């Protein structure tokens, strides 16, 4: 039962890119310019595209014996995740954008995934107890799946708030 659930989660996770692209397209249509939301969705799309492109190579590399090969798996993900967080920050800094709750949620998701990966690597490299293995396998697809409704809610909430402010003239 658990293996079927994990397989289902991973299959959903593999199709999330289309959801991320849809969110990016909707945000571009709504804002018609660079905004914190479009920046966050763009980074999310780049992050997922990188994941899709690199995963097969990293699976092959990490399947070899030795801690260096395992580190290549975890190290690549952590470094790339930090790059995408930096990318969100850099876009906001250069464009002088105020960070939206969507950008904060996307950055927090990427940071949380990096922390889980680092803890799982430390567990595997030191005690190899496997305590984090199940959590790691379930958390990453679950977080990726959950981010779409979370950022959609946050985006609609912020958008509604700006419409209400504009309507009242405040």
pLDDT of residue 66: 82
- Digit-by-digit pLDDT tens for the chain (170 residues) are 567 776 776 677 667 888 899 999 999 999 998 999 999 999 999 999 999 899 889 989 888 888 888 888 889 999 999 999 999 999 999 999 999 999 999 999 999 999 999 999 888 888 888 788 888 888 888 898 899 999 999 999 998 888 777 667 65
Integer-rounded Cα radius of gyration of the chain: 18
Residue 45: CB atoms within 10 Å: 18
Strand runs (DSSP E) across 15-71, as ranges?
none
pLDDT of residue 25: 94
CB 158 within 8 A of CB 101: yes
Q: Which of 144, 155, 137, 146 is nearest to 45 (CA)?
A: 144
Residues 58, 30: Cα–Cα separation, whole Å: 37
pLDDT of residue 57: 92
Residues 37, 23: Cα–Cα separation, whole Å: 9
């Amino acid at each position: 039962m658990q293996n079927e659930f994990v397989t289902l989660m991973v299959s959903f996770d593999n199709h999330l890119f289309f959801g991320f692209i849809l969110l990016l397209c909707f945000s571009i249509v709504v804002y018609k310019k660079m905004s914190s939301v479009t920046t966050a969705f763009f980074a999310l799309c780049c992050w997922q595209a990188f994941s899709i492109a690199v995963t097969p190579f990293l699976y092959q590399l990490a399947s070899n014996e030795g801690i260096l090969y395992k580190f290549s798996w975890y190290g690549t993900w952590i470094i790339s995740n930090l790059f995408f967080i930096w990318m969100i920050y850099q876009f906001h800094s250069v464009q002088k954008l105020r960070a939206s709750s969507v950008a904060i949620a996307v950055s927090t998701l990427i940071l949380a995934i990096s922390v889980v990966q680092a803890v799982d690597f430390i567990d595997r490299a030191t005690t190899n107890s496997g305590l984090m293995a199940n959590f790691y396998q379930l958390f990453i697809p679950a977080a990726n799946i959950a981010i779409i409704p979370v950022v959609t809610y946050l985006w609609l909430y912020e958008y509604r708030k700006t419409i209400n402010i504009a309507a009242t003239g405040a």
